[in-house]
Amino acid sequence: MGVAKKGTNPAYIAQNMDLESFRDGFQTVLHIKAEGRRPEQFVFTFAGFIAANGMNSRSIGICANTLSQLRHCRDGLPVACIIRGTLERTTLNDAIKFLKQVKHACGQNYILGGGGRVCDFECSAGKVVSFAPTSDTGVVYHTNHPLANDDYDAEYADYLRKIDPTKAVKGNSEIRFQALENRLKNLQNGIDVSSIESTLRSHDSREHPICRPVKEKSATFTFGSTIMKLSDKPEFLVAPGPPDTYPYQTFNFSGLP
């Protein structure tokens, strides 16, 4: 999810990163120092992987979630490299330009934030499509099914031809998306870090909650939760596991350009 700057509230982007349960204990934050034209960065990931999401000292942040239904290719740039490439940029416009110009190896949704703004793009091997869940472009949110990009993987396109959309049952991603939508619509006093934390810790659906607990036989769980405060003094908040169990830890930048 992402929310643009409004009044005294800065822009935020945030997400729960759901991964396989065997990765628990390998939560990692990389601190990349500024060098030359490259800004200082904090990157959330797991041991042995170069990036899952992150932000830089110029208040540019990126979150990513899989859209496996979209078309992939062998000669595109992998997700982790796209994240690292985005964090080399120092303005949101440059980050968007990079995201649109690069060839994508697989289907992925990216929420970007910077300069007080937020935006969302569904990316596949053949298309990059902007997505806004409502007419209010100051709030974006997404889960794991495509809503704007129709560059489908052949297997998913075949599946869509066979089903009756009027009888389709909502699955995990659709239920979590609805939970996000309901929560964000009901925040009459605006969205701040407290309401973002509450959303990421929520269990509105017992079977398909936004915050997924660690279960011995569960395939995936909320490996970590990140909140990126995109202000003049940016902050990177990380919970190393389900945020209803693990408190957020705050990482501050050095203040150097």
Query: Is residue 257's pLDDT more than 50?
Result: no
Q: How confident is the model at residue 16 (pLDDT cuts 50, 70, 90)?
A: very high
- Three-class SS of the chain: CEECCECCECEEEEEEEEEEHHHCCCEEEEEECCECCECCEEEEEECCCCCCEEEECCCCEEEEEECCCECCCCCCECHHHHHHHHCCCCCHHHHHHHHHHCCECCCEEEEEEECCEEEEEEECCCCEEECCCCCCCCEECCCCCCCCCCCECHHHHHHHHHCCCCCCCCCHHHHHHHHHHHHHHCCCCCCCHHHHHHHHCCCCCCCCCCCCCCCCCCCEEEEEEEEEEECCCCEEEEECCCCCCCCCEEEECCCCC
| CA–CA distance, 54 with 86 (Å, rounded to integer) | 9
What one-letter code names the amino acid at 80? A
Q: What is the pLDDT of residue 136?
A: 84
For the stretch 23-51, pLDDT in tens is 999 999 999 999 999 999 999 999 999 99
For the stretch 39-97, pLDDT in tens is 999 999 999 999 999 999 999 999 999 999 999 999 999 999 999 999 999 999 999 99
For the stretch 173-217, pLDDT in tens is 999 999 999 998 877 567 889 999 999 999 999 999 999 998 766
% of the chain beyond a pLDDT of 70: 97
Question: How far is residue 227 CA from its own chain's centroid?
Answer: 10
Torsion angle, alpha carbons of 188, 55, 180, 239, to 10: -100
Q: What is the pLDDT of residue 21?
A: 93
Are 90 and 60 a contacting pair, CB within 8 Å?
yes
| CA–CA distance, 184 with 199 (Å, rounded to integer) | 8
Are 113 and 228 a contacting pair, CB within 8 Å?
yes
Query: Is residue 256's pLDDT more than 60?
Result: no
Nearest by Cα to 142 from 119, 116, 167? 119
- Average pLDDT of every residue of the chain: 94
**CATH top class, domain 2-252:** alpha beta
Nearest by Cα to 121 from 179, 62, 69? 62
- Domain range list for the chain: 2-252
Q: Structure pTM? A: 0.95
